[in-house]
Amino acid sequence: RVTTLAPHRWQMAPYACQRRTPLLHSNQPLTEALETLAEEAGFSGSEGRSLAFTRAASVLKALPGRLSTLEELGPLPGIGEHSRRVIQDVLEDGVCAEVERVKLSERYQTMKLFTKIFGVGVRTASRWYQEGLRTLVDLQERGTKLTRQQQAGLRHYDDLNTPVERGEAESISRAVQGAVQRCLPGTSVTLAGGFRRGKPHGHDVDLLLTHPEAGREAGLLSRVVSWLDSQDLILYQHSQENSYALQEGPEPPGGRDVMDRFERCFSIFRLEVQGGPGAARGWKAVRVDLVVAPISQFPFALLGWTGSRHFERELRRFASHERKMVLNSHALYDSRRNLFLPAVSEEEIFQHLGLEYVPPAQRNT
Ligand code: CTP
Ligand code: MN
Ligand code: MN
Ligand code: MN
């Protein structure tokens, strides 16, 4: 009996928040190529194009095995013409000429150099590029106007672009734990961001603070930061007060990613180190984000601050398009029934959304 095997086709749910995406996957060369194009599109202000490449990469990260031919992709959701061409090039030749061109281009390299400065976004970097600036030395020599944040970013450029190891993140977490115990005993400190997803290193340390008694957390952050500062642990910080009021109602659905309104602090810590790049000095600069959430909003804050960014974006898109709900880092609002849906855990938020729970280690989209 002769059987003709139909070519294997992968199945995949359309939203990244419906999929399990582990940290390690089998299609690294493909996702790297697509993410380079996503980054380049972002540098050009083409958000839509950037998102298309990010979506395609996200689909490949969730595949259970290595893609060997374009045919296997079949009609997988979210992979457009352009991305398919890139995938085909990499599968056939190991590289994609378009991607290699981008990586070598002066504009891409300069934009990367500048956006790696803490406090410099695409717009500022792009303006500097237009003005003919190309190096970090150019910024200094031509007397470019810098914010206090950018000055700190430039001063600690090398340290801040050296990956933060998990051990370093844990050590910073302990230092903050010590500070909050002095300022408000009972406060919990949770490591969120990439480390919570199981990444072995990251670009910063994201810490979420809350207290089991509602209201006690108000004003906590400034006391914690003052104490850490008095211990010479802080090289730079700027804080922002809580500006969220539930009675204002949720952000409109489909609105663009607005930053949440928790009491928060963007900082640079001075971390004592034994080895690594800062060993001679004995310390290293590390970016730390501190966020304070009232206990009732904590599960939403934890979900929102665990990432990945694309996972968060997809969760919000799913909530709005499939459920007519508005999700942010503070709350979940049901627009059909006109009510907020409270939750005491991340699991409960997934339940409200009618989504299967995705643990943090599977949110690496
Ligand atoms: N986040 C946010 N508002 C910001 C910055 C970040 O809500 N102004 C959220 C992002 O949605 C993300 C999480 O905080 O899910 C962590 O962001 P970030 O530190 O930038 O990324 P990580 O995933 O932690 O990756 P890395 O290891 O590079 O730090
Ligand atoms: Mn195209
Ligand atoms: Mn982070
Ligand atoms: Mn962060």
The alpha carbon of 175 and the centre of ligand 4 are apart by a number of angstroms equal to: 18
The answer, yes or no, to whether residue 51 has pLDDT greater than 80, is yes
Q: Fold match between 105-155 and 304-362?
A: no
Of 256 and 3, the structure prediction assigns the larger pLDDT to: 3
pLDDT classification of 252: cutoffs 50, 70, 90? very low
Name the closest ligand to CA 202: 1
**Tell me, what's the pLDDT at 307?**
98
Higher-pLDDT residue of 36, 247: 36
Question: Could you state, in order of their start, the residue ranges of all structural domains in the chain?
Answer: 2-102, 105-155, 164-296, 304-362
Backbone angles phi, psi at 59, to 5 degrees: -65, -45
pLDDT attached to residue 7: 59
Residue 206 among the catalytic residues: yes
Superfamily of domain 2-102: DNA polymerase beta, N-terminal domain-like (1.10.150.110)
Pocket flag, ligand 1, residue 305 (CB < 6 Å): yes
| Number of other CB atoms surrounding residue 130 within 10 Å | 8
pTM of this prediction exceeds 0.90: yes
Q: Is the pLDDT of residue 259 over 70?
A: no
Identify the active-site residue in 89, 158, 159, 206.
Answer: 206
Tell me if residue 132 falls in helix, strand or coil. Answer: coil
Ligand 1 in reach of 202 Cβ (< 6 A): yes
Is 90 exceeded by the pLDDT of residue 251? no
Across residues 135-150, what is the average pLDDT? Answer: 96
Q: Does the C-beta of 250 come closer than 6 Å to ligand 1? A: no
Contact 21/363 with Cβ under 8 angstroms? yes
Q: Is 155 helix (H, G, I), strand (E, B) or coil?
A: helix
Token pair 């002769």 is found at: 2
Average pLDDT over residues 233-260: 68
- Annotate 214-260 with DSSP letters as a single string: TTTTTTHHHHHHHHHHHTT-EEEEEEE-----GGG-PPPTT---PPP
Query: Could you give the CA distance from residue 115 to residue 1 in angstroms, rounded to a whole number?
Result: 61
Q: Give the pLDDT of residue 247.
A: 47
Q: Which two tokens stand for residue 289?
A: 């984000």
Residues 167, 174 contacting (CB under 8 angstroms): no
* Class (C level, CATH) for 164-296: alpha beta
Distances (CA, A) of 132 to 18, 54, 140, 278: 45, 29, 13, 32
Nearest bound ligand to CA 261?
1
Q: Collect contacts of 142-147 with beta carbons under 8 A, ≥24 apart.
A: 147/119
- How high is the pLDDT of residue 195? 98
Residue 74: per-residue pLDDT: 83
Element (H, E) at 314: helix 309-323
211 in Cβ contact with 217 (< 8 Å): yes
Q: What is the pLDDT of residue 262?
A: 87
Mean pLDDT of 267-280: 87
State the angle between helix axes of 346-353 and 298-306 in degrees (0 to 180), rounded to the nearest 10.
80
Contact (Cβ atoms closer than 8 angstroms) between residue 265 and residue 140: no
Q: 203: Cβ below 6 Å to ligand 1?
A: yes
Q: Out of 232-236, 275-279, 348-352, pick the least confident.
A: 275-279
Distance 219 CA to ligand 2 centre (A): 49
Sheet holding 332-334, edge to edge: 325-327, 332-334, 339-340
Give residue 202's pLDDT: 98
Nearest by Cα to 161 from 204, 125, 191, 223: 204
Cα distance between residue 242 and residue 168, in whole Å: 28
pLDDT of residue 11: 80
Looking at the predicted complex, does its ipTM rise above 0.90? yes
Q: How confident is the model at residue 145 (pLDDT cuts 50, 70, 90)?
A: very high
Please state, rounded to an integer, the average pLDDT across all residues of the chain.
Answer: 93
Q: What is the mean pLDDT of residues 201-230?
A: 96
Tokens of 14: 């359309």
Name the 3-class secondary structure at 358: coil
- Known catalytic residue at 257: no
What pLDDT does 78 receive? Answer: 84
Nearest of 234, 235, 241 to residue 220 by alpha carbon? 241
Going from the Cα of 225 to the center of ligand 2, the distance in angstroms, rounded, reads 47
Q: Is the pLDDT of residue 230 over 70?
A: yes
Q: Looking up tokens 């339940």, which residue turns up?
A: 351
CA angle 218, 221, 226 (to 5 degrees): 135
Both tokens of 248, joined, read 């204002």
Instruction: Cite the DSSP H helix spans in 24-141.
Output: 28-43, 47-61, 81-93, 97-104, 106-115, 122-130, 136-141
CB count within 10 Å of CB 73 equals 20
153 lines ligand 1 (CB under 6 A): no
Give the Å distance between the CA of 106 and the centre of ligand 2: 21
pLDDT of 213 > 70? The answer is: yes
CATH classification code of 304-362: 3.30.210.10
Q: What is the fold of 105-155?
A: DNA polymerase; domain 1 (1.10.150)
Residues 119-130: tens digit of each pLDDT: 999 999 999 999
∠ at Cα 56 (317, 193), nearest 5°?
60
> Residues 6-18: what's their mean pLDDT?
83
Q: Is 232 a catalytic site residue? A: no
Could you tell me if the CB of 150 is within 6 A of ligand 1? no
- Alpha-carbon distance 144 to 114, whole Å? 13
